[in-house]
A and B are shown apart, each in its own frame.
Chain A
């Protein structure tokens, strides 16, 4: 049963990607070749000297859309995602350096959200309407209420400018030299993992040091939201019939909460965390800008501003794959947490 479900879900993936890429590409129809030229003319001062018409022809910007799309599609099947004019390198190369950077950050962030959110959410639900609850409720509202760059800059000021603990960027210069050298093997593109796999614990630590602030700033609002959602979900579950049953059976409060209630309360929380993944891809750009951490966020925004379709399509495909997987994982977790849920 389970296998079938997973396979069925995975089979929909190519269809989704196909529709997605088609939809995105069709946007080209709304754009004039001059708008698409913008990525080749980086700033207005260069424009005055640029031979606009020549460039349009050179880059094939006035060819028929379906031809452009078919060409792109053909190349994708051959494994070539094309060239990104905004990143000045092949799309696949750009993605292979930017994507792991964001994944690393997101993983760390999700860890913080998961453990922190559930722990604190449970605590506030258990201490419903007492001081601890009110304190965290207030803090979480603050946490959601601040724009990302404000939090980011404040954190940088305190932890970098004043204390010098956590610098911006992905790695310190000496670590970058190590990672860029020939001896260092890039297995995953994630500096933390690669550091460990290469036996360079110092690179791992350095990478972590640079990731702590951005991961925290990045997850703050989702963390706050998760705490509140966990709280309300748990409170609700605790009032349900089967909980009264468990309590009346004489089970201790701890077991009631941890074993029975929490599992069911986790459902909307897991959903929410699942939906937060694509949103976090978006919020990433602000954090990446402030912390000088080049990841998917910046890449996508730069590609979009430049109407760089190969890069946009490449990113969309990649993100699409990630999201289908995340949704799959979320749905699987439902089944584990609540066996009564059935899929026809």
Chain B
């Protein structure tokens, strides 16, 4: 028996002695909770995964990190504009945009970038039905239909492929885009640094089993899923880093590409490892085994601030806006959330929120300051409206709602001809389990409203994400808490999403008629008119409508906090600050 114990002891000691590994100075390790959904940039939807495509690929243009409104050339040698003649209006009302392609750019496998690669990339993105928002936008712009599938359903594959073929062409050393009508955010879409508009190498793609680029093979690749794509576990681009290895669920490793056309990066290796638990991530950071962690909650800041060797960067604006959306036409059948479907102590009618006074009453009932100060400990921004803070044409002077119980009471008394105040109401609102910000926002709303009149009752309950999704889709929620994460830095996107009849919110929340009447025209013009002053006018008008018609409570725009080892220099925030531009990092 003795000898057993000795052996165990020796082994234990050995494990301690033997295994200390030293961290190389030119390796950057990032801890993340986000799983990589796929390496195919045209099927990637999680914004955290786009960090990888951003660093491994390039796109035609790139936004200026300090001033996102300004664009710079990347794989293209110039930024097209009317002034330099690269943007030209065509006779049929369309627009022709030309991108001269840079020479001497190498892919990770050594082959040189050619205009055909860009042509292929765009065509593939459209053909397979690319999932990222910017590609879907591109699709509807270039094909004038929602997607390639829709086009095929309408005019048949052969005709549809012709349209696709003509949308992007190569002339000499340039790639030409033929837009059926002007689309202002187009350049912005092209400038995402490779996040979604990552330029692929046509030959390599063909070799590894992706679409070869021919018409005959096209149909097999339509409606491509993650399961089917040959690019699921491979990445090969022109960016400063190349894929070294990927252990799904554990970590992904990138290595420096020495022949990067802008010069090699400083870091030679980047490791992104999955760490589920925040406490564990903090410990890893404090010990230096990890160089970067995202702090999901501002309440995490006091847990890291002041640790030796660690510095924090706080209050970084993000492009994530959250809002509480009133559903104007709640499904009535089999819906426990609205009780008996009548105004009264046992329910609400499905069209409860179609009355503007109800909406305004709710708007005035929300404790905006309490929410930001107590729940976010001050680390969030109160939005101006649907156009995110920091985006062009965002209007800080747009009228806004504040917590005002008197005004709330006033509007409640007017609602539904006084019935609401007299009879009271009851509704059930779910939130997705684990989402603290949703839970707290609803709790604040509930407490403030119930305090106004004892006949008002709001019951809150949590649902697993799958059930929450099902209820939203079935329109059973009186109020849904969904926000916007625009990938392109242009007011068109959030306004389209929030207020256009074809945008998701107008449809899902039931105000698409209102949209068709008042907003569509303005939003369409916003998308097609390049005149900056006019765009400002349109945007401001739409933001005003958002206030007057009160479709949603804009309760916060997220702000990011990160904690990093103090040797890390060069960090420049990207629109989603948790995504890092590894090229800029140095010791």
A48→B482 contact, CB < 8 A: yes
CB-CB under 8 A from A46, the residues of chain B are 45-46, 485
B466 at the interface (CB under 8 A from A): yes
CB-CB under 8 A from B37, the residues of chain A are 42, 88
CB-CB under 8 A from B223, the residues of chain A are 58
B11→A209 contact, CB < 8 A: no
Q: Which residue of A lies closest to B493 (CB)?
A: A49
CB-CB under 8 A from B446, the residues of chain A are none
Asked, given contacts A47-B482, A157-B283, A307-B466, whether A34 binds B473 with beta carbons under 8 Å apart, the answer is yes
A153→B287 contact, CB < 8 A: no
Asked, given contacts A48-B504, A59-B225, A208-B15, whether A164 binds B466 with beta carbons under 8 Å apart, the answer is no
Q: How far is A290 from B283 in the complex, measured between Cα atoms in Å?
A: 11
Provide the B24-60 mask, 1 if CB < 8 A to any CB of A, else 0.
Answer: 0001010000011110000001110000000000000
* Distance from A344 Cβ to chain B, minimum over Cβ atoms (Å): 39
Q: How far is A44 from B464 in the complex, measured between Cα atoms in Å?
A: 12
Interface of A is mostly: helix
Partner of A202, one of B19, B35, B45, B251: B19
Q: Which residue of A lies closest to B137 (CB)?
A: A49
Q: Which residue of B lies closest to A53 (CB)?
A: B473
A279 at the interface (CB under 8 A from B): no
CB-CB under 8 A from B432, the residues of chain A are 44
Asked, given contacts A46-B46, A47-B482, A161-B287, whether A205 binds B21 with beta carbons under 8 Å apart, the answer is no
CB-CB under 8 A from A209, the residues of chain B are 15-16, 19
Partner of B248, one of A35, A43, A89: A89
B467 at the interface (CB under 8 A from A): yes
Q: Chain A interface residue count: which class?
A: 35 or more
A174 at the interface (CB under 8 A from B): yes
Asked, given contacts A49-B133, A157-B283, A168-B284, whether A205 binds B15 with beta carbons under 8 Å apart, the answer is yes
Say which one of A139-147, A291-299, A315-323, A331-339 lies at the interface with B: A291-299
Asked, given contacts A46-B45, A153-B279, A292-B275, whether A34 binds B465 with beta carbons under 8 Å apart, the answer is no
Partner of A161, one of B247, B286, B320: B286
* Distance from B448 Cβ to chain A, minimum over Cβ atoms (Å): 24
Q: How far is A169 from B21 in the complex, measured between Cα atoms in Å?
A: 14
Q: How far is A94 from B14 in the complex, measured between Cα atoms in Å?
A: 31
Asked, given contacts A202-B18, A307-B466, whether A47 binds B283 with beta carbons under 8 Å apart, the answer is no
A294→B469 contact, CB < 8 A: no
A241 at the interface (CB under 8 A from B): no
Provide the A29-60 mask, 1 if CB < 8 A to any CB of B, else 0.
Answer: 00110111111011111111111101000110
A175→B21 contact, CB < 8 A: yes
Q: Which residue of A lies closest to B464 (CB)?
A: A305
Asked, given contacts A208-B15, A209-B19, A292-B277, whether A47 binds B472 with beta carbons under 8 Å apart, the answer is yes
A156 at the interface (CB under 8 A from B): yes
Asked, given contacts A48-B483, A180-B245, whether A292 binds B276 with beta carbons under 8 Å apart, the answer is yes
Residues 247 to 261 of chain B near chain A (Cβ within 8 Å): 247-251
B105 at the interface (CB under 8 A from A): no
Report 28 cross-chain contacts, Cβ distance below 8 Å, ordered by A residue: A32-B474, A35-B466, A35-B467, A35-B470, A42-B46, A47-B482, A48-B485, A48-B504, A49-B45, A49-B504, A50-B45, A52-B473, A54-B149, A58-B225, A87-B249, A88-B38, A88-B232, A94-B249, A97-B249, A149-B277, A156-B283, A160-B283, A164-B287, A168-B280, A180-B247, A292-B273, A292-B277, A294-B274
By a beta-carbon cutoff of 8 Å, the part of chain A in contact with chain B is 31-32, 34-39, 41-52, 54, 58-59, 83, 85, 87-89, 94, 97-98, 149, 153, 156-157, 160-161, 164-165, 167-170, 172-176, 180, 202, 205-206, 208-209, 212, 288-292, 294, 298-299, 305-307
Considering the complex of A and B, which 5 residue pairs feature the smallest CB-CB distances, nearest first? Answer: A38-B466, A34-B470, A209-B15, A174-B21, A206-B19
By a beta-carbon cutoff of 8 Å, the part of chain B in contact with chain A is 11-12, 14-16, 18-19, 21, 23, 27, 29, 35-38, 45-47, 133, 136, 149, 223, 225-227, 232, 245, 247-251, 271, 273-277, 279-280, 283-284, 286-287, 289, 320, 432, 435, 464-470, 472-474, 481-485, 497, 504-505
Additional 15 contacts, C-beta under 8 A, given A153-B279, A175-B21: A34-B473, A37-B470, A38-B466, A41-B469, A42-B35, A48-B505, A50-B45, A88-B35, A89-B248, A98-B249, A168-B284, A174-B21, A205-B19, A290-B280, A298-B249
